[in-house]
Amino acid sequence: MSAIVWSAAGSLAAWLWLLLCQGWFWRTDVRLPPLRDPRVWPSVCVVVPARDEAAVLSSSLPSLLAQDYPGRAEVFLVDDGSTDGTGELAREFARRHGGLPLTVGSPGEPPAGWTGKLWAVRHGIGLARARDPEYLLLTDADIAHAPDSLRRLVAAAGAGGFDVVSQMARLRVESRWERLVVPAFVYFFAQLYPFRRVGREGSRTAAAAGGCVLLRADTAERARIPDAIRHAVIDDVALARAVKRGGGRVWLGLADRVDSVRPYPRLGDLWHMVSRSAYAQLRHSPVLLAGTVAGLALVYLVPPVAAVVGAATGSAVPAVLGAAAWLVMAGTYVPMLRYYRQPLGLAPLLPFTAFLYLLMTVDSAVQHYRGRGAAWKGRTYARPDAVPDEG
């Protein structure tokens, strides 16, 4: 058998395994269930790290201040050295909209070994501790919450006995590139960290979505969060791992009423979003990078190549194997496209999108080895891997 036949057969086998054995990652029905209200609502402090977020704050902060929460709740926005008036704008929103009490703090520049976002989170948690909350909601400055978001998160944590309840916010999909790249971003994340496995008791799979993380305050203290993960690039996953290592339980699902308002109108914006942390995901390992590139090529690129080459040369075997693998691939992508309300005609284009992600990952490694340092919202880090998740 030729190399292309073997490759197509291997790709089809990989897709059948992913379809049936990877935690049903392609399903989008892991959502917060409707729950009964607790008899006594626990106190919550909301921590919002923000650096130069004036452009999105008007679409997000009022939704936090307007939370319909029966218990005691307060918002702490940490203005992380902004130069665009983020802190004053937040105070103006609080004066204008009212709602939950708002405190604006500033942590100063992070010391060596800390990523900027986690240093801001640490400052916010420190402010919150004076209120002795039972829960902390860590949410990014670009996340808009429905009025019942906080009460649903708290009810889910209490009913399920979870130490962390996290929702993957629905990202914006308005521009052409957002429609092509964003649903695939969430699809690939779910493939790496199947949501069902994250929530399964005893499972070692741990992940969270940094834009919306409800965390028990005593769990944060036991797990030394954020100090224990102060250097983490992908801080949401690191947080979930720290909680699970300490015996805590984590739940992760897709959001229905939590949305990111941050725009990524150009391919370059999305490219930066992925490439700044892609190589860190691979622990800066050339071996893992080579394996990832080979795996992406086999799983995503071989099926359309085998189908087209087989059809063009009249070779039925590679054409059928490639087409079958391509069909399974597209079929697993359909639920995510439906979740994002996108045309199903984008499903067969997943190999092209995967190729873009392959290039982004390689570019992330190239930037790492060029030693240029990494920048995040105007702050440059000496360590190439010391970049926080954007929020």
Q: Give the residue with greater pLDDT, 284 vs 346.
A: 346
* pLDDT reading at 383 higher than 60: no
Contact 12, 328 (CB under 8 A): yes
Radius of gyration, CA atoms only, the chain: 22
Instruction: Retrieve residue 323's tokens.
Output: 């087409």
- Residue intervals of the chain classified under CATH 3.90.550.10 are 44-263
pLDDT-wise least confident of 20-34, 212-226, 293-307, 369-383: 369-383
Mean pLDDT, residues 324-338: 98
Q: Which residue has the tokens 């989170």?
A: 121
φ, ψ of residue 78 to 5 degrees: the values are -100, 110
Instruction: Retrieve residue 5's tokens.
Output: 């036949």
Instruction: Retrieve residue 159's tokens.
Output: 């009913």
Cα dihedral: 181, 292, 299, 349 (round 10)? 20
Say what the pLDDT of residue 228 is.
95
Give the span between the Cα atoms of 57 and 104, in whole angstroms: 13
Say what the pLDDT of residue 233 is.
80
Give per-residue burial for 306-317: e unless 16+ CB within 10 Å, then b: bbeebeeeeeee
Structure confidence by residue, pLDDT tens digits, 11-46: 999 999 999 999 999 999 999 988 889 999 999 999
Which of 27-36, 116-125, 184-193 shows the highest mean pLDDT?
A: 184-193
Instruction: Please return the burial class of 352, using the count of CB atoms within 10 Å of its CB with bins 0-12, 13-18 and 19+.
Output: middle
pLDDT-wise least confident of 32-41, 124-133, 236-245, 357-366: 32-41
Give the span between the Cα atoms of 220 and 135, in whole angstroms: 9
Instruction: Retrieve residue 231's tokens.
Output: 């250097």
Q: Which residues pair with 380 in a beta bridge?
A: 375
Give the span between the Cα atoms of 38 and 169, in whole angstroms: 25
Phi/psi class of residue 161: alpha, beta or left (left: φ > 0; alpha: ψ in -120 to 50)? Answer: left
Instruction: Retrieve residue 304's tokens.
Output: 């359309």
pTM tops 0.85: yes
* pLDDT reading at 138 higher than 90: yes
Mean pLDDT, residues 221-240: 93
Say what the pLDDT of residue 231 is.
86
Q: Which pLDDT band holds residue 384 (cuts at 50, 70, 90)?
A: very low
Q: Which pLDDT band holds residue 378 (cuts at 50, 70, 90)?
A: low
Superfamily of domain 44-263, CATH level 4: Spore Coat Polysaccharide Biosynthesis Protein SpsA; Chain A (3.90.550.10)
Q: Which pLDDT band holds residue 299 (cuts at 50, 70, 90)?
A: very high
Say what the pLDDT of residue 386 is.
43
Q: Which pLDDT band holds residue 376 (cuts at 50, 70, 90)?
A: low
Contact 237, 207 (CB under 8 A): yes
Calculate the average pLDDT of the chain.
Answer: 93
pLDDT-wise least confident of 172-186, 265-279, 350-364, 367-381: 367-381
Say what the pLDDT of residue 319 is.
97
Say what the pLDDT of residue 372 is.
57
Give the span between the Cα atoms of 216 and 200, in whole angstroms: 18
Mean pLDDT, residues 253-275: 95
Say what the pLDDT of residue 234 is.
87
Q: Which pLDDT band holds residue 313 (cuts at 50, 70, 90)?
A: very high
Give the span between the Cα atoms of 225 and 128, in whole angstroms: 14
* pLDDT reading at 246 higher than 90: yes
* pLDDT reading at 260 higher than 70: yes
Mean pLDDT, residues 251-263: 96
* pLDDT reading at 379 higher than 80: no
- CA pseudo-torsion sign 118, 121, 127, 133: negative
Q: Which residues pair with 103 in a beta bridge?
A: 76
Mean pLDDT, residues 241-267: 96
Q: Report the 3 state secondary structure along the chain.
A: CCHHHHHHHHHHHHHHHHHHHCCCCCCCCCCCCCCCCCCCCCCEEEEEEECCCHHHHHHHHHHHHCCCCCCCEEEEEEECCCCCCHHHHHHHHHHHHCCCCEEEECCCCCCCCCCHHHHHHHHHHHHHHCCCCCEEEEECCCEEECCCHHHHHHHHHHHHCCCEEEEEEECCCCCHHHHHHHHHHHHHHHHHCCHHHHHCCCCCCCCCCCCEEEEEHHHHHHCCCCHHHCCCCCHHHHHHHHHHHCCCCEEEEEEEEEEECCCCCCHHHHHHHHHHHHHHHCCCCHHHHHHHHHHHHHHHHHHHHHHHHHHHHCCHHHHHHHHHHHHHHHHHHHHHHHHCCCCHHHHHHHHHHHHHHHHHHHHHHHHHHHCCCEEECCEEECCCCCCCCCC
Say what the pLDDT of residue 349 is.
98
Say what the pLDDT of residue 1 is.
57
